[in-house]
Amino acid sequence: MEYRALGRSGLMVSVLTMGTMTFGGKGGFAAVGATDVQEARRQVDMCLDAGVNLIDTADVYSSGESEKIVGEVLKGRRDEVLVATKVRMPMGPGPNDAGLSRQHVIAGCEASLRRLGTDHIDLYQLHEWDGVTPLQETFEALDLLVRAGKVRSVGLSNFAGWQLMKAVGTAIMHGLPRPVSQQIYYSLQARDAEYELIPAAVDQHLGVLVWSPLAGGLLSGKYRRGVEPPAGARHLSEWDEPPVYDQEKLHDTVEALVEIGAGHGVSAAQVALAYILGRPAVTSLVIGARTGEQLADNLAAADLVLTDEERRRLDEVSALKLLYPYWHQAKTARDRLSAADLTLLGPHL
């Protein structure tokens, strides 16, 4: 297992992170998975044996049940791993049971600590943007938690580029805990993060944790042109996270993944994961699975090395169109571009 620096936190994390959205199976999360304690323990054992040292969860996953299961399976070995969780989403019916207010952030942390059965959270992530609460209030709450030893590092998730930079700037300006990472959606199905979020990570030295690097299973190889999907599988028109805007482009990408995988004797999923692991600024991929067999296949992606030609093929089939102002910068600013700029514009120069 390879380990990479998580921003400027000083932490080294495995290139694969164990995701636990499938743990619990309550409410709407039952559609994702319903992993119980026994199966969760088996999957955690597999990840630890493979060298994974970061487990990611969230308070909202199965209404806290995911955190409870994580806490249960880590009893007696909490110090072997880093634990990340999140706050922001609704956790009750009240008007103050969601958001990034001082009240909800602190109450959310205390509740997560109880469910996890631990005295600290290694990476506490703001799960989503809150356009109502001033960022200074949110980061003052995080500062209280860090000073109390309940939170070690702070991260962001699902922020737009300007929101990310405002958050980092607010923390720096007021001497509050600076975010060390962002957790974002990024895959060969949709490389939108390359417009703003990846360049910002390079510029601000943020770690990048990637959720759903297989696009919710779209890149597993099961959804191919002219092939009936497995029984019980959703149709592409029903996908809303991530949404599918260009089915033909997706099919072309999957065909490339299947062919490259066949050349290595591995699954399309492993190829998709290996590709994202090789992209600029990416620290770790959050992988989850309904079964141990799926998890084992995903874990093997850490050892897969793609050739330059294979990467070029995947680059081309999944390429982004340059939006404004990027096409203009590619034409007129190419004499003064930074390493962050080149993550997007480099292939177009």
| Cα-based torsion angle of the residue sequence 130, 135, 137, 139 in order, rounded to the nearest 10 degrees | 110
Cβ proximity of 165 and 131 under 8 Å: no
Task: Give phi and psi for 336, each to the nearest 5.
Answer: -140, 60
Here the tokens at position 153 are 């590092």
CA–CA separation, 344 and 293 (whole Å) = 35
b/e sequence 17-28, b meaning 16+ C-beta within 10 Å:
bbbbbbbbbeee
Q: Is 313 exposed, middle or buried (0-12, 13-18, 19+ CB in 10 A)?
A: middle
CA–CA separation, 158 and 140 (whole Å) = 20
> Which position among 61, 185, 223, 326 bears the catalytic label?
61
61 is a catalytic site residue? yes
CA–CA separation, 126 and 72 (whole Å) = 24
Cβ proximity of 250 and 237 under 8 Å: no
Here the tokens at position 19 are 């995701």
Helices (H), 27-76: 37-50, 65-73
Cα angle value 27/128/159 (rounded, 5°): 145
Cβ proximity of 106 and 150 under 8 Å: no
CA–CA separation, 123 and 101 (whole Å) = 18
| Cα-based torsion angle of the residue sequence 43, 48, 50, 56 in order, rounded to the nearest 10 degrees | 70
Active-site amino acid positions: 61
